[in-house]
Amino acid sequence: MTSSHRPATAPDPTAERAIGRLADLVSLETPSGHAAGLSALYDALTEWAPPGLGTPRRLVRDGVPHLYWPGDDTPGGVLLLGHADTVWPLGTLDAWPFARDGERLSGPGVFDMKAGLVIALDALERAGDLGHVRLLVTGDEESGSATSRALIEEAARECAAVLVLEPADGDAAKVARKGAGFYRLTVNGRAAHAGLEPETGVNALVELAHQVLAVNGLGDGVLGTTVSPTVAHAGTTSNTVPESAYVDIDVRAWEQAELERVDGALGSLTARHPEASLRVGGGVNRPPLERARSAELLGLARRVAEAGGLPAVGEARVGGASDGNFTAALGVPTLDGLGARGGGPHARHEWVDAGSLGQRAALVAGLIEALRP
């Protein structure tokens, strides 16, 4: 008599290891620049890294640690690039720990981008000889890469390609990203009693309101340029005419020329009230990642995926910037979004598809092999 029951499929040990590693990384809280948390995460990455990757360097810049495997200086090598920091503050894990629900993995930073770090190490293990490979993991990407930009650019300059392990867009790689600028517009006026003699003051909040409307009109919907006033603050007490006020401004554009246009316009703002003064701080943070810098690598990724029986690699253009913007601006071919499939970056529903960990690792390993000098 034959049984209608099929034998249970044994768990894939490699897949389970990847999930376990991701759980470990998510369970280490790593807000941008948090040295203790980042160092603990780097300890884990160093322990898991294949021996062929060589000896890593801990590079501390302005108190922020970064982790770098420099390879053997092979000309025309490949740089794997990622970040360990997240947008989530210390204590987030208390109410939102790592969780697994079937193939859905969740937790702070699971998608952006701790899954990408797990994928990178798995890919390196699969790829064999790693002499031509460099791996850089930074600790301040989410806050603008102020301490890591020079390291990123130095590591990328001698490479023939950069593979960025930021989250995927479905099964698509990210072939273009908007450039970004971050600014603070500060208004200085003059305080006065709001009840007794408001007319003697210069209301910084009223002046700021006029400026916010002007700033909001600097975008260009046709070109996809956005200029967004975000965080604002004014005043000290409810019965005082505000002496000072400020607004933070987020600028995104597909073209460098648009970033420069907006930068000039913000610098040319003039106060409406003759006794108010304006000060604009900040500037362009990241240049755009243009599709021309990704096209060749996208074609290679598609061939690798087809040859390996992996999901077809699509292409996506996204408004968010990454450290790949820096490397592309140097003229180095850069393919972004090679991390996990999932969703909810920077949100409480952040999640990763467990099945994508192995698929993307196989894709990245194939790219590493194909890019061997």
Q: How do residues 307-355 score in pLDDT, each as one tens digit?
A: 999 999 999 999 999 999 999 999 999 999 999 999 999 999 999 999 9
Q: What is the predicted pLDDT for the residue at 14?
A: 85
Range list of H helices, the chain = 13-26, 35-48, 92-95, 115-127, 149-157, 204-216, 256-267, 295-307, 324-329, 355-370
The residues of the chain that CATH labels 3.40.630.10 are: 13-178+288-370
What is the CATH code of the structural domain delimited by 13-178+288-370? Answer: 3.40.630.10
Quick: pLDDT tens for 147-179: 999 999 999 998 999 999 999 999 999 999 999
CATH 3.30.70.360 domain locations along the chain: 179-286
> What is the pTM assigned to this prediction?
0.88
Share of the chain above pLDDT 90, in %: 94
Task: Tell me the average pLDDT across 101-122.
Answer: 98
Non-local (6+) Cβ contacts of 121 within 8 A are 21, 45, 48, 49, 50
- 225 closest CA partner among 275, 265, 188: 265
Distance between CA atoms of residues 177 and 116, nearest Å: 18
pLDDT of 96 strictly over 60: yes
Burial per residue of 257-272, b for 16 or more beta-carbon CB atoms within 10 angstroms, e otherwise? ebbebbbeebeebebe
Classified by CATH at the fold level, domain 179-286 comes out as Alpha-Beta Plaits (3.30.70)
Contact assessment for residue 137 and residue 82, using Cβ atoms and an 8 Å cutoff: yes
